[in-house]
Structure 1
Amino acid sequence: MTYFGSASDARQGDARPGQPSALRAERVLFVHAHPDDETIATGGTIAALVDAGAEVTIVTCTRGELGEVMPDDLARLRGDEAALAAHREGEIAEAMRDLGVRDHRFLGDPEARTHGLPARVYRDSGMVWRSDGVAGPTPDLHGAAFCAAEFGEIVSDLQAVVESVRPTAIVSYDEDGGYHHPDHVRANRAAVRVARLAEVPFFAVVAGAEEATGAEAEALAADDSVRTVDVRASTARRLAALRRYRTQVEVVDLPRGAAGIRFPHGAVTPVGTSESFRFVPEPDSRAAGPAGASEFADMTTGGRVATTVLALAAGAVFGALGTVAHQGTVTVAGAPIWSGLVLSLVMAAALLAGMRLLFGSRVVAVAVALGLLGAAALLSQPGAGGSALVPANGPGYAWTFGPLLIAMVVIAWPSLPQRGTGHDGGSTASESASAPTASSAGTQPTAR
């Protein structure tokens, strides 16, 4: 049997948890932000997959260096990020044994790193609790933090894992990371991007699904894209794995023999009997992000600055080439053809449109336009001998105003609809991942 189905099953919505499917083992990749997240959010499903003979790989993006330390007997770890990171490495290793997982990797380690690059550590980005009860970004982000890393580097490292294990499904958080922790949100973005690139079905954890009531519970039950896994058989193993994370959580007794998880901020949630996941159709990096998200928006500040400077330089180079070449002609049937002008305008249009489409940002297009127009304006000035590269003739005027008009059109055009979005009311991957039953069913508090 399969829990997440084959790629074709998932896309067609045919797979059902617990029902026989293709006679082959699933290979499921779970992408989580910190040690303990995998057990809290998906531990029961992980154990069920292992029991069913599936190949399970867990990727943990950080070591949780900034997490709280709950018990006083481990107070020595408080404020010592290196010691806490090492301790949490031990915690997750023991938890993996309890759940039966044999393939666990930290993102950036050699087995989860782009080939040819030296190993690196993605540091915990940290978080603060906002007044509305959800997590928010810390004001002093460390340069080595997961959220400070180039998005392309994260995706490339995760792609290396995908190429290694060739998963039949990828599982991570929904678009708000369950409770808005910056590392959870970034893990979602990277996992969705990699799933799209690899054409592998992506499933988002439906946080708080078991606690949903009323209309939300009815919507969950009627949603064909939601897979709910009965995890009661693995309760003992999940509790054992949870108890390994003494720094982050405490397993407590609840009425009627139930067990709960106490988190550092004091909240207690029951250990559930089921875990739910929503299939996100045609996962797309932009559709998975907020409205208006783009390749450029996914970059760090340094990456955006570098991209803008490179775009400015590329525009200047093309502007210089066009200024030099636009007066060129070829003779066809005795008539001169302004081939240089045509080629120069086509090059300018291709650069402007290509950069706008590639990065999905008007900022990049504006930088290209400034470089192109600036170079053309500079080189059009008469030289010491009075000669000019842009004479007052037809091609000269066309080259003077043509790139400006092209730039105005490219910068002004609206953002194109994302893949999977139509004008018939169809939902995007983002909307599917963030429908009421995914996030409004209740945020899932967790340790860091």
Structure 2
Amino acid sequence: MNSSAPPTPASPSTPGDPRLERVLFVHAHPDDETITTGGTIAALVEAGAAVTVVTCTRGELGEVIPDDLAALRDDPAALAVHREGEIAAAMQDLGVDDHRFLGSPGARTAGLPERAYRDSGMVWRSDGVAGPTPDLHPAAFCAAEFGEVVSDLSAVVQSVRPTAIVSYDEDGGYHHPDHVRANRVAVRAARLVGVPYFAIVAGAESAEGPEADALAADDTVFTMDARHVAPRKLAALRDHRSQVEVVDLPGGRAGIRFPHGAVEPVTVRESFRFVSEPTAPEGVSEMARMTTGGRVTALVLALAAGAVFGMIGTVMHQSTITIGGAPIWSGLVLALLMSLALLAGLRSLFGSRAVAGVAAVGLVGALVVLWQASPGGSVLLPANTPAYVWLVGVVVVVTLVLGWPRLRGGSAGGATPPGDPTRASSVGAQPTGDRLDALPDAKGTPQT
């Protein structure tokens, strides 16, 4: 993406060309994609970019506007089918040939049966913004396991290998629970594979005064001028006639009338903010970001690894090679280097002394056990110089690694800045419980 628009292709040619922009839009309900990003979608398609639109629900609980569709107002299942047809028509008008419903084939975790995420519904709060409904349906998008939803979206990411993912900001634009959850899911899917994430900037076109100045000064905000594809966006909006009505406004502009009566101008300039991966505060380790199960697993594996390295080092520390007639304690040197690499690597990887400390317990524990003579009288740690150096060396390695003030590698893998043509080359990681950092879902509770 550049300073004036979301990603555009350098050369829309052969499939698989790393220079071709592949943009994944994640939206909550049919019509959201057109209202907030329709111009950008049409402009990207026209420029030759590969565009995929994922819709999380079928909008079963949407409010139906026209009276000729009144029969759909009390029939969520029929409305879902109707809105499937509306978004199919809208995709055609926008030029999109890759649209998927989350949970359906192509947007479902391999091996799991197909499922439909139901509209979670919303209520208007007294402050004029949307809030969660008190009677959440068990099949609702916001009631689904967070990890399952992320895994389904990750299946799309693996399939299309996007160079950018676009969805809502943290409040979902107007706090609709499905929009908020779509944000959490899209952000997580983007972070798992290091794909740049762009949040829709609501109301950017109508911003005035200090707000407009702040947006103009923000170099992470990118604006797509979609006036040249405005007819496509208007046609797609008219396709969603069960939910929105296109009306004429003074000055020759078009507007959108929503079910609750509000009328807003149709945006022809759509803005997005690049959302960088937050940096963990100083002193917050990778262990602190893991789930309880993940921490227990890491500690158990570290203990086992320390014990294994201790046994291997004890067995090999007496080995020597002869150079120029002089014996060299090659086994001892290698055993100490292996121990140092294990403990330093664990501390660097997790940014914490805890995992390295547990591995050190396993390492020293193995030495204590092997110090004892076997029933046959043989010993792996005889009373000689290499054995003493091995024992003292392990203590020095443990003290050095655990006592060092700071031992941490580089960034834990944030999204690559826009403009890097290779940023999507590593897509393919599957989310697991231990990789899902705690983020609030649409109900305000942590998801782990």
Which category of TM-score, normalised to the shorter sequence, fits these structures? Answer: 0.5 to 0.7
In the TM superposition, what is the alpha-carbon distance from 1:170 to its structure 2 partner?
Answer: 1.9
Distance 1:263 1:381 in 2: 80
Q: 1:283 corresponds to which residue?
A: none
Distance 1:323 1:288, change over 3 A: same
Q: 1:418 corresponds to which residue?
A: 411
Match of 1:30 among 3, 21, 24: 24
Partner amino acid for 2:54? T
2:307 is equivalent to residue 319 of structure 1: no
Checking the alignment, whether the CA contact within 8 Å between 1:295 and 1:360 is kept in structure 2 is: yes
Partner amino acid for 2:321? V
Partner amino acid for 1:160? S
Q: 2:280 corresponds to which residue?
A: 291
Q: 2:159 corresponds to which residue?
A: 160
Q: 2:100 corresponds to which residue?
A: 105
Match of 1:239 among 231, 237, 240: 237
In the TM superposition, what is the alpha-carbon distance from 1:324 to its structure 2 partner?
Answer: 2.6
Distance 1:318 1:429, change over 3 A: same
Distance 2:38 2:169 in 1: 20
> Which shifted more, 209-218 or 412-421?
412-421
Q: 2:268 corresponds to which residue?
A: 273
2:42 is equivalent to residue 42 of structure 1: no
Checking the alignment, whether the CA contact within 8 Å between 1:61 and 1:146 is kept in structure 2 is: no
Query: How does 1:195-210 map onto structure 2 within 5 Å?
Result: 196=195, 203-210=198-205
Distance 1:186 1:326 in 2: 50
Query: How does 1:325-364 map onto structure 2 within 5 Å?
Result: 325-358=316-349, 364=355
Distance 1:269 1:376, change over 3 A: farther
Distance 2:312 2:352 in 1: 25
In the TM superposition, what is the alpha-carbon distance from 1:39 to its structure 2 partner?
Answer: 2.8
Distance 1:415 1:157 in 2: 33
In the TM superposition, what is the alpha-carbon distance from 1:401 to its structure 2 partner?
Answer: 0.9
Per the normalisation by structure 1, the TM-score is 0.63
Distance 1:420 1:30, change over 3 A: closer
Distance 2:258 2:271 in 1: 21
Partner amino acid for 1:34? A
Match of 2:207 among 194, 205, 212: 212
Q: Secondary structure at the match of 1:210?
A: coil
Distance 1:154 1:76, change over 3 A: closer
Gaps of 5+ in 1: 5-9, 281-286, 422-426, 431-444
Q: 1:191 corresponds to which residue?
A: 190
Distance 2:269 2:106 in 1: 31
What CA deviation, in whole Å up to 9, does each residue of 1:358-383 have, x standing for no partner?
56666654554444444444444554
Distance 1:153 1:319 in 2: 42
Distance 1:420 1:366, change over 3 A: closer
**Coordinate RMSD, CA, aligned:** 5.2
Distance 1:337 1:104, change over 3 A: same
Distance 2:356 2:201 in 1: 38
Gaps of 5+ in 2: 14-19, 65-69, 419-441, 443-448
Q: 2:216 corresponds to which residue?
A: 221
Distance 2:364 2:289 in 1: 28
Query: How does 1:169-180 map onto structure 2 within 5 Å?
Result: 169-173=163-167, 176=170, 178=172
In the TM superposition, what is the alpha-carbon distance from 1:60 to its structure 2 partner?
Answer: 1.9
> How many residues are matched?
383
Distance 1:84 1:120, change over 3 A: farther
In the TM superposition, what is the alpha-carbon distance from 1:310 to its structure 2 partner?
Answer: 3.6
Per the normalisation by structure 2, the TM-score is 0.63
Distance 1:378 1:267 in 2: 76
> Which shifted more, 380-389 or 228-237?
380-389
Which entry has the higher C-alpha Rg, 1 or 2?
Answer: 2
Distance 1:170 1:345, change over 3 A: same
In the TM superposition, what is the alpha-carbon distance from 1:276 to its structure 2 partner?
Answer: 1.0
What CA deviation, in whole Å up to 9, does each residue of 1:77-116 have, x standing for no partner?
3xx8xx99777655543432343311123467654679xx
